[in-house]
Amino acid sequence: MRISECRAVLTGASGGIGLPLAEQLCAAGAKVLAVSRRQDDLAELLRRYPQQLRWQSADLRDSAGRHAIVEAARDMGGINLLINAAGVNRFALLEQIDEEQLDDLLELNINATLQLTRVLLPLLREQTHALVVNVGSTYGSIGYPGYATYCASKFALRGFSEALRRELADTSVDVLYVAPRATRTSMNSAAATALNLALKVGMDDPQDVARAVLAAVEKNLSELYLGWPEKLFVRLNGMLPGLVDRALRKQLPLIRRYSDANAKESNR
């Protein structure tokens, strides 16, 4: 799929890897419906690309918000690319997350994504070729302590992507699942960033992740895993989970220390 020929709906467009995705899509000539709750972070791009970029305010958790996106997509003349990049992350042990926070994470990371994809599929299927891109995580393949709820949502997103790809195999719509490793975005708390530094975990620049995602779109890939040695850990976890269990158990004291610090900071 040529980026210059894309008419895209992009969720989570005002931050994380969504903002550089919006910028790079527009720079390559695509037309983009940027979905977010806030417009401020998109203001400069809207000035630079007035003919290509349109902002749509929507709460993805709300049915009315999702249907507003469908109507805006119709007004664009239809879409051939959906990038589900919206999501939240919480670094905390399961018992440190309250009921409202847990529900909110699952509602946005799983339910909102599935529901938006469902209501946009009829528009996507009208195209000669269309693509759904679901932005997951390495933690969609490796259960990591301190991220149990986030892992649950990304494991679900990976399963959804695989099943939807097979469900649409005889249609014009393809599905790409993207699994970035740790990325330098505001989604990470200070404690999560400190833990990554303490463990010497590699962190990617969101601009680089966005470039890799769009390269995968152009190549029509079905999966994209980013980062080394994270790719190796994903394979090891699938073949030798006990080995990964033992490795991560050694990290538990450090993970607990930083998650406790994160909980104290959040409760101030």
Please, are residues 180 and 138 in contact by the beta-carbon 8 Å criterion?
A: yes
Rg (CA), the chain: 18
150 is catalytic: yes
> What secondary structure letter does DSSP report for 94?
G
HSE-up (13 A, CA, CB side) for residue 180: 22
Amino acid identity, position 30: A
Characterize 8-45 residue by residue with b for buried, 16 or more Cβ atoms within 10 angstroms of its Cβ, and e for exposed.
Answer: bbbbbbbbbbbbbbbbbbbeeebbbbbbbeeeeebeeb
Strand 173-179, strand 223-225: pairing: parallel
Rounded Cα distance, 226 and 92, in Å: 24
Catalytic-labelled residue, pool 144, 147, 150, 225: 150
CA dihedral 17, 18, 21, 25 (to 10 degrees): 180
Task: Supply 85's token pair.
Answer: 């990049």
How far lies 119's CA from each of 63, 78, 104, in Å?
A: 10, 13, 21
DSSP 96-140: GS-HHHHHHHHIIIIIIHHHHHHHHHHHHHTSSSEEEEEE--GGG
Residues carrying an active site annotation: 150
